[in-house]
Amino acid sequence: MVFEVRYTDLAARIGRLETPHGTVETPAFVPVVHPVRQTISPSFLKKMGFQIVITNAYITFRHYGDEARRRGIHDIIGFDGAVMTDSGGYQVLEYGSVEVEPAEMAQFEKDIKSDVPIPLDKPTGYGLPYEKAKEYVRITLENCKETLQVAGDTGAVWVGPVQGAEHYDLVEHSARALDQMGFQLMALGSPVEVMEAYEFATLARMIARYKKAIPAKPIHLFGAGHPLTIPLAIALGCDMFDSASYMLYAKDDRYMTPQGTVRLADLTYLPCQCPVCSSYKVDELRRSLPKDQKTIEVAKHNLHVLKAEVDACKQAVMDGRMWEYVMQKARAHPRLMEAVQLFGGEEFRFLADNTPAFKEKAILLFDAIDQHRPEARRFRQMVATTTFRPKKTDMLILFPEGEVRPFYATRAFKELAKKFPGAQIATYNPFLGVIPAEVSDVFPAAHNLAGRLDRKIEDYPAFVESLDAFLENNSFEQVIIVADGFMKQYTEKKKLKAGRVEDYSDHVIDRL
Beta strands 22-26; 12-19: pairing state: antiparallel
Question: Cβ distance 106 to 119 under 8 Å?
Answer: yes
Tell me, yes or no, if 441 is annotated catalytic.
no
SS (H, E, C) 16-47: EEEECCEEEEECEEEEEECCCCCCCCHHHHHH
Closest to 200 in 3D by CA, of 87, 342, 102, 97: 342
For the CA atoms of 220, 226, 232, 235, the dihedral, rounded to the nearest 10 degrees, stands at 50
Question: Cβ distance 73 to 113 under 8 Å?
Answer: yes
CA–CA separation, 94 and 125 (whole Å): 10
Does the CA dihedral 218-24-198-57 come out positive or negative? negative
Residue 208: φ, ψ to 5°? -60, -40
Closest to 395 in 3D by CA, of 502, 484, 485: 502
- Where b means 16+ CB within 10 Å and e means fewer, 18-55 reads ebebebbbbbbbbbbbebeebebebeebbeeebbbbbb
Q: Residue type for 177, please?
A: A
CA–CA separation, 336 and 159 (whole Å): 28
Active-site annotation holder among 86, 115, 239, 370: 86
CA–CA separation, 183 and 387 (whole Å): 46
Q: Residue type for 412, please?
A: A
Catalytic residues: 86
